[in-house]
Amino acid sequence: MGVPDSTEGAREARQTPYALLGGDAGVQALVDRFYDLMDLEPQYAAIRRLHAPDLAHAREKLYLFLSGWLGGPSLYIERYGHPMLRRRHLPFAIGTRERDQWLACMAQAMAEVGVPEELRERLRQAFFQTADWMRNRPG
Ligand code: HEM
């Protein structure tokens, strides 16, 4: 039986994480909360100290990158070309502690900006793959 794919369920399944987050404003809010928490919460101190005192540059770059990574406009690539994320992270010593702080900070930010649980779980898995790939020292 041909089920038209214009049903609510099918539309939902086709939505990108970018759209589900609320588009550009949603990505901005998530990135802002992520770096606010990194700045505020002592449990993220190990990754905070890898960053410059002023987080403006990091906020802008992560926002541009996540826009494309989440299925929205490829803002980072338009401006800077291929992100080469692993290479760009080599100057920072990233082990499991740093990876896990990054992921916990992002999980807290997603919860606090009200990302629905199902999407949070999906993104947590995707962020894990990327963050784990960024590890560049044992431990
Ligand atoms: C695994 C733990 C991670 C640590 C400790 C870490 C740390 C950092 C630091 C210190 C910078 C430099 C910020 C600056 O230039 O002021 C940076 C840049 C960046 N990070 Fe991460 N990061 C991690 C994981 C990730 C993940 C999972 C993503 C993406 C999903 C990501 C995306 C970026 C981007 C797009 C930049 C900007 C790169 C550029 O200079 O163009 N990072 N990160």
More confident residue, 138 or 89: 89
Pocket (CB within 6 angstroms of ligand 1): 47, 50-52, 57-58, 61-62, 65, 80, 83, 85, 88-89, 92, 94, 98-99, 102, 127, 130-131, 134
pLDDT above 70 as % of the chain? 91
What pLDDT score was predicted for residue 13?
60
Q: Rounded mean pLDDT of 7-17?
A: 69
Alpha helices in 5-95 (DSSP H): 8-14, 17-20, 23-40, 45-48, 56-69, 75-80, 85-89
CA distances from 1 to 4, 5, 120 (A): 9, 12, 33
For the chain, give the longest Cα–Cα distance.
Answer: 60
User: So what's the pLDDT on residue 3?
Assistant: 46
pTM of the model: 0.92
18, 64 Cβ separation under 8 angstroms: no
* Tens digit of each residue's pLDDT (9 = 90 or more) over 55-94: 999 999 999 999 999 999 999 999 999 999 999 999 999 9
What length is written for the chain?
139
